[in-house]
Structure formats: C-alpha cells, structure tokens
Amino acid sequence: MSKCVFITGANGMLGASVTREALAQGYEVKAQILPGSKRDVLKDLPIQIVEGNILDAAFLEGAIKDCQFVINIAALTTIWPRRQENLYAVNLQGVKNIASISHKLGIRRMVQIGTANSFNHGSKDQPGNEMQPYTGNQFKMDYMDSKYAAQCYLLDLYKKDNFPIIIVNPTYMIGPFDSGPTSGRMLLELYKNKLPGYASGGKNFVYSKDVAVATVNALNLGRDGQCYIVGNENLYFGEMFKKASEVFEQPFKIKQFPGFAINAVGALNSIWARISGKAPQLSYSMAKMASVKQFYDPNKARIELKLPSTPIEIAIADCINWYKENGYLTI
C-alpha cells in the first residue's frame, strides 16, 4: 500500500465523510470502528474495515503498520455528566496511543480532529482564531478539557520530537451521516415543529463535507505543528434557524428565550437528571453555553488547507435529506 490512510472513528458523522473524501483523493483506506458497532454509513465502500479499540496498543500497531498516514477522529463527545473519567481515557490516552505507535512506525503525517473550543471565541467583528488562549475550562466539561489536553500533548510532541502532526479544529458541523443524531438534532426538532425557542448566542457553522475535504487535504497541505480552525458562517441561533426554516419551506415561528429562563430550565433539568439518572436534553452547562457567541475565523484553513466554504443552506438540506432517506422522518 503506497498511499494508505488509517482512519479511526470511520463510522461516525465526520468519519463517514472523511472516508469518502479520502477515497475520492485516491487513498486506500483502512477504517477503524469499535467491535460490534454499526457500519451502515460505510456500506459498499471499497475500504478495509478493522474492528478494534484505540485503547488497545497491540491492535493499533497491527492496524497502522501498513499505512503511511493516520487521521484520528475517534472520540467521546458526551457532555452529560460534565465529568467522566472515560472521556480522558479515549480523548487523551487514546490519542497518546495512536501518536506513540505512529511515531514508532514512522508515518508521514497524523491529522488529529480537535475542536474549535480549544481556542477562545470572539464576536462577529472580531472572531476567535488560532492565536487565542483556551478558555473552555470555564464550562467545567471533561469533553472540552480532554480534547484540549490532547492538543497540547500533540503539539508538545511536535516540538520535542518533530512528530508530523496537524490538528484540525472544526466548529459546529452540519451534514449527512449523523446517526446519533448529534449536531443535527436541533434541525430535526425544528423540522418537526418541536423546537420551543432559541437562545441569544450563536456559533460558527460548517458543512461536515467541507471539514472532510480540509481534513484529507491536511495529509499533504498545511504545516506540521499547526492548528487549523475549520469553520464557515458565524450565525446567531435566530439567524441559523431562519435559514433552516427557509430550506424546509416552513414559516419561522419560534422566538428567542431570555437567558435567565433558559438557565433556570437548564438548572432544573440538571437536578432532575441527577435524580433520575437520565441525560437531560438541556443541562445547566448547555444552557450557559447557548447564550455565548462562539464565533471563529476559519481564514487560515481556507488559505493553507483549501477549506471550501459551502453555504450553510446546502449543509442543512443535505442533513435533513439524509434523515429523511434513513427513516428519521416521514418523507
């Protein structure tokens, strides 16, 4: 195999698009999935699927040895409860395992999928960029903290041993193959007229297929030891939901909730979740984040990784059409 890439978490939302993009760019793909996990989104693709866990060093060495590149997407993204030891096991120790074995085997480059939250956000006029410090610890979420810790580890490995690493930091992704559903859940709720309202905050939204293009491009473009915020449109939630309503050809009816009301609901939900043991749809931490303007500047990735800038309306349409085609909605 002269141009083989090992992709972890290949059956996830981003992994499915990265796998397809790698094939389109002429790579042979060895795709890691957890034993017994669903692989429907990889059906009929000309790839080698290997079942194993990134916490298993012996498995990783056998899987990576025939490849020249590694893309690590596998991660736990749970944000409830906020504190979970297994998040560090996967999101930090798993990354250490992959990097150690990749370094030992002399791979040409590893691309790590991080998160834009590893950098402080900004306003629409002055969005956050890769020069901003990490401030995510204010939310006290092990997901954010573990992803940032992995980023720091990898950048330190580059500085100490010249390890060939690039970190891709996506913003809020919208697109197909969202089996969870995860990021597209709010679009599903809006489409079904079940979204009660929205908060005053906003996010940088990006098409998951654009993230996949930049990720695969990062195997040969970009600079080792660098992070790249991969995003597109900075939108307040009201702007985002208005765009989605237009895509759905539905009237835009939902209203903005005041911050104190959202925080109160989140707090009550968190209390009940601790009592019932069931994860809340809106926890107190989620409520607090919903009022934050998490805006970012993806210009560095656009220039160095040739990140596309597909209009978010196309991402929304692709996302909801995938849900329709896969039984999440009645067509």
Degrees, nearest 5: CA angle 33-34-35: 115
Q: Please state, in angstroms and as integers, the Cα–Cα distance from residue 21 to each residue in 24, 170, 230, 266, following that order.
A: 5, 16, 16, 38
pLDDT digits (tens, 9 = 90+) for 78-112: 655 555 778 899 999 999 999 999 999 999 999 99
pLDDT digits (tens, 9 = 90+) for 224-253: 999 999 999 999 999 999 999 999 999 999
d(CA 234, CA 240): 9
Could you give the domains of the chain?
4-178+204-232+295-311 (3.40.50.720)
How high is the mean pLDDT of the chain? Answer: 92
pLDDT digits (tens, 9 = 90+) for 192-206: 999 888 989 999 999
pLDDT, mean of residues 173-194 = 93
Q: CB of 27 within 8 A of CB of 188?
A: no
Q: Of the ranges 26-40, 126-140, 226-240, 274-288, which one carries the lowest mean pLDDT score?
A: 274-288
pLDDT at 267 over 70: no
pLDDT at 183 over 60: yes
Tell me which amino acid residue 47 is.
Answer: I
pLDDT digits (tens, 9 = 90+) for 19-65: 999 999 999 999 999 999 999 999 999 999 999 999 999 999 999 99
SS (H, E, C) the chain: CCCEEEEECCCCHHHHHHHHHHHHCCCEEEEEECCCCCCHHHCCCCCEEEECCCCCHHHHHHHHCCCCEEEECCCCCCCCCCCCHHHHHHHHHHHHHHHHHHHHHCCCEEEEECCHHHCCCECCCCCECCCCCCCHHHHCCHHHHHHHHHHHHHHHHHHHHCCCEEEEEECEEECCCCCCCCCCHHHHHHHCCCCCEECCCEEEEEEHHHHHHHHHHCCCCCCCCEEEEECCEEEEHHHHHHHHHHHHCCCCCCEECCHHHHHHHHHHHHHHHHHHCCCCCCCHHHHHHHCCEEEECCHHHHHHCCCCCCCHHHHHHHHHHHHHHCCCCCC
% of the chain beyond a pLDDT of 70: 90
Closest CA to 305 of 212, 234, 193, 202: 212
